[in-house]
Chains A and B, each alone.
Chain A
Amino acid sequence: MAQALATTLVVASLYALLGAGYVLVYRASRVLNLAQGDLLTLGGYFLFATAATFPGAPVLALPLAAALSALTGVLVYVALMRPMAGHPVFAAVLVTVTLGILLRAAIVLVFTDRTRHPLQNLGLSNPPRPLAGGAVVSTFDLVMVGAAVAFFAALFVFLKVSPLGIRMRAAGERALLASQRGINFHGVFALSWALSAFAGSLAGMIYSSNVRLEPSLGILGLRAFAVALVGGLDSLGGVVPAALLVAAVEVASVRWGNPLLSDVSPFLCLLVMLLVRPWGLFGTKEELERV
Chain B
Amino acid sequence: MSEALLSVRDLSVVFAGDDGPRTLIDNLSFDLGQGEILGLVGESGSGKSLTCRSLVRLMPSPKLAITSGAVMLDGRDLTKVSEADIRDVRGRDIGMIFQNPTSHLDPLMHIGDQIAEGIRVHRGVDGKAARAAALDILAQVGFPHPARQYNGYPHEFSGGMRQRAMIGVALSCDPRILIADEPTTALDVTIQAQILKLLMDLRESRGLSVIMITHDLGIVAQTCDRIAVLRQGKLLEIGGKRDLLGRPQHPYTQNLIASHPSMPARQAAMSSHIVHPTAVVPKARPLIEIDDLHVRFPVTGRGLFSGGPREFSAVKGVSLQVMPGETVGIVGESGSGKSTLARALLGLTPISDGHVSFDGADIVMERAKALSKLRQETAMVFQDPYNALNPRLTIGTMLAEVLAVQDSVPKERIPERIGELLDLVGLEREFAGRKPLSMSGGQCQRAGIARALAVNPKLIVADECVAALDVTIQAQIVDLFRDLKRRLNLTLLFIAHDLAIVRSLCERVVVMYHGEIVEEGPTEDVFSAPREAYTRALIDAIPDIDPDKRLVPPRGGDALIEETSGLVTDEIS
Q: Do A and B come from one complex?
A: no
Interface residues of B (CB under 8 A from A): none
Interface residues of A (CB under 8 A from B): none
